[in-house]
């Protein structure tokens, strides 16, 4: 295998080019962007290093793609995974151009520096320093589409089961602390369709706010039951949470409310699949739905994400903890980890930068993470792919 390195840019140049290639994911079509530019850069760079590269379109993604680079033969090995997309940005909140890498006080500003296009630049920096001709087990790089919205990229890749690595690292910003477990996320919209009318004769209408009061009462019972029956003490909030984030109904004090909406957020623990949680909501509201046929509509506000759990006892977690100098921990935000784990690999979330910078105006990566990340990645690749 002949490795070509003449074309490869340095770390800062990789960051600059990745940040300069907008790849926003949004549910709103007018904000949503292609990830083609990022994919093209990764395809060129990893191809120049001798990786076998493939690009596949992701269904239900407005024409976006996953990118996979592979080097080495045989079984097992390591998957380094990340997403190509960023969240939208508030132009008024940014001091710098979000699509131009700006350095100030040892901080690299730009949309995606931390969350998380910059991770790929550091992976590239790590692998270019390794003797890739001597690799014994495959090294895979996955750059997925639409993590910030549907996670359809990771879901599609997991369903294909085209690779079977022993280990996986997902490079989300964790301050280089390994994460072995996180909660999931489900958001539902509940709409009550009543019958409007004049408030002077309530019997001629059906007040959607009053029905919603019954719905919330039942959901409060579910909230209490979830807290009583599901527990994981590793989390600071050790039970599934439920939040009533939005409620709106009616248009005038003298008019019977004909429609009322509630937006619901539930964060399940590992071991509580989203499909089971959705069924629980439906079952708790079934008596009200029977009393008022056709009155209750339950919808998904946007695609949910499953909870994730690996183990602190497996060899991979122990090795990564030792090399990183941090014990594995849990977090409350969601990642692609539950889908990557479906490949059958021991899976951890670990990457440079702080989650406090994710989804924030003037996002930055502290440059103090750059060399430690490259060093740690080289160590992990050595253990998984060269031994």
Cα separation of 240 and 263, whole Å? 17
Residue with tokens 């006080």: 105
Instruction: Choose, from 115, 146, 147, 336, the residue flagged as catalytic.
Output: 147
Instruction: Choose, from 32, 85, 172, 306, the residue flagged as catalytic.
Output: 85
Cα separation of 118 and 171, whole Å? 9
356 is catalytic: no
Which residues have CB under 8 Å from 30's CB, separation 6+? none
Contact of 137 with 127, CB cutoff 8 Å: no
Strand blocks (E) in the chain:
52-57, 65-71, 78-83, 102-104, 107-109, 139-144, 167-170, 179-182, 186-193, 197-198, 241-249, 255-256, 259-267, 296-300, 308-309, 329-331, 346-349, 364-366
Q: Which helix (H) or strand (E) holds 183?
A: none
DSSP state of 60: T
306 is catalytic: no
Residue 331 phi/psi, 5° resolution? Answer: -135, 165
Catalytic residues: 85, 147
């Amino acid at each position: 295998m002949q490795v070509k390195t003449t074309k490869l840019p340095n770390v800062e140049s990789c960051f600059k080019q990745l940040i300069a290639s907008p790849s926003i994911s949004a549910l709103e079509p007018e904000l949503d962007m292609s990830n083609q530019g990022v994919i093209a850069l990764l395809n060129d760079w990893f191809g120049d290093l001798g990786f076998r590269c493939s690009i596949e379109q992701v269904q239900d993604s407005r024409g976006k793609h996953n990118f996979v680079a592979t080097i080495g033969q045989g079984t097992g090995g390591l998957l380094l995974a990340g997403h190509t997309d960023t969240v939208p940005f508030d132009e008024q909140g940014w001091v710098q151009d979000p699509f131009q890498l700006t350095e100030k006080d040892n901080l690299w500003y730009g949309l995606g520096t931390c969350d998380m296009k910059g991770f790929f630049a550091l992976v590239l920096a790590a692998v270019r320093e390794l003797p890739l001709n001597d690799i014994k087990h495959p090294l895979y790089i996955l750059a997925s589409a639409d993590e910030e919205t549907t996670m359809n990229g990771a879901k599609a890749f997991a369903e294909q089961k085209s690779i079977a690595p022993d280990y996986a690292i997902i490079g989300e910003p964790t301050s280089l602390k390994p994460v072995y477990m996180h909660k999931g996320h489900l958001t539902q919209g509940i709409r009550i369709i009543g019958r409007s009318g004049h408030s002077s004769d309530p019997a001629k209408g059906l007040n959607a706010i009053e029905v919603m009061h019954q719905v919330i009462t039942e959901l409060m019972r579910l909230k209490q039951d979830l807290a009583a029956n599901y527990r994981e003490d590793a989390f600071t909030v050790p039970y599934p949470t439920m939040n009533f984030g939005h409620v709106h109904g009616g248009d005038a004090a003298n008019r019977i409310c004909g429609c009322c909406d509630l937006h619901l957020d539930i964060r399940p623990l590992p071991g509580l699949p989203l499909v089971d949680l959705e069924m629980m909501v439906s079952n708790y509201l079934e008596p009200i739905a029977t009393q008022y046929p056709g009155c209750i509509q339950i919808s998904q506000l946007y695609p949910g994400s499953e909870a994730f759990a690996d183990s602190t006892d497996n060899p991979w977690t122990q090795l990564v903890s030792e090399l990183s100098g941090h014990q594995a921990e849990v977090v409350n935000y969601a990642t692609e980890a539950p889908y990557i784990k479906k490949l059958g690999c021991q899976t951890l979330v670990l990457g440079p930068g702080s989650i406090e910078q994710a989804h924030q105006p003037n996002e930055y990566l502290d440059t103090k993470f750059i060399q430690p990340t490259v060093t740690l990645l080289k160590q992990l690749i050595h253990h998984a792919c060269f031994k």
